Structure 1
């Protein structure tokens, strides 16, 4: 499989919060490889952050530090503007544990780029062939799933809804899923850095992530229990 590094790429991300227990989640899908190492950042009781576009690897950790220091989402974005001279090439999304949302889509972001803010929900995308319709599909897919469903399922359904809409215009070479809840030993932290088959042979990292999640979910509680009571296993 050959990756064209001159290709500016396409990316979608969705950040969400459950106000009932302050669970935070973020899911991403991209035409670039290994996106999970660069773009999603999440800390329980603090914030979920997406740093995408022409990604600055320092932005996510810095944003989390600023949230820990008590800055609002709007103040964090302003601080990042002062810190990063190339912020107009980037997209930044912030969703805090107490429900604040901040979003920035730079004027130099790739192709059509934008974000959509909802109730405890933030969608961002760049390089999108169908523009805002793709963000609408993510939001509607998430919102159309019963609120009692697991956060991870709702996030994946949101991205999958956009994937169906975008079709071949959105080759997905990597995908990532992070979900964490306060006080919970278990967590979801999964990623696909490269699809199991080449894109030209029907490979799809989001489909691979869905399969990985399906295999992992029944084991989440077992892994958490083993970590604190290994003699019981």
Structure 2
């Protein structure tokens, strides 16, 4: 009796496992069918979308060609509407263009002359310029040991009326410039361009007894220039 019960129990377990396997198999089949159906729908949808895109591109290209052709026709019509000018009209237009061109050249020439005048005035005005002094060239190398030379600078340029602040004029130079410009004085010249500030330098040299001396000499270098 016990053996029969064990047999029935085993049989029932086997049947349960078979039913469970069958359910799993059906579920797998259903999932595969759904996947195939989705892939089919996606492929069909992509084909539809591709055809729609191609149609849209074709339509836009046709519209672009039609617009270009309409523009070309409009330009051709506009060109056709232009009438030919007579000889007198062409001559007047040429003269007008020539007059405008000469007018522009005149303006450029005036501006260039003004710039040249300002540049030349600035270049000729009183200013400091370099002046290198070589002690060997002026015959001082026999007693000066060091330095061999130095840049002393020098002042050069005109002091034209009116004197500006950049020329650092003295009050006397300003009055002299006015008198010269108005020609109210006899033989009154313009102010002179001279150093208005000087620096010193140190020289190492031999004195009369052949002693080596280091001495500072004042007013040896022109630091700035002005009208005096």
Q: Same fold (TM over 0.5)?
A: no
Structure number having the greater strand percentage: 1
* Larger relative contact order (CA 8 Å, sep ≥ 6): 1
TM-score grouping bracket, smaller chain normalisation: under 0.3
Structure number having the greater helix percentage: 2
TM-score relative to the length of structure 1: 0.17
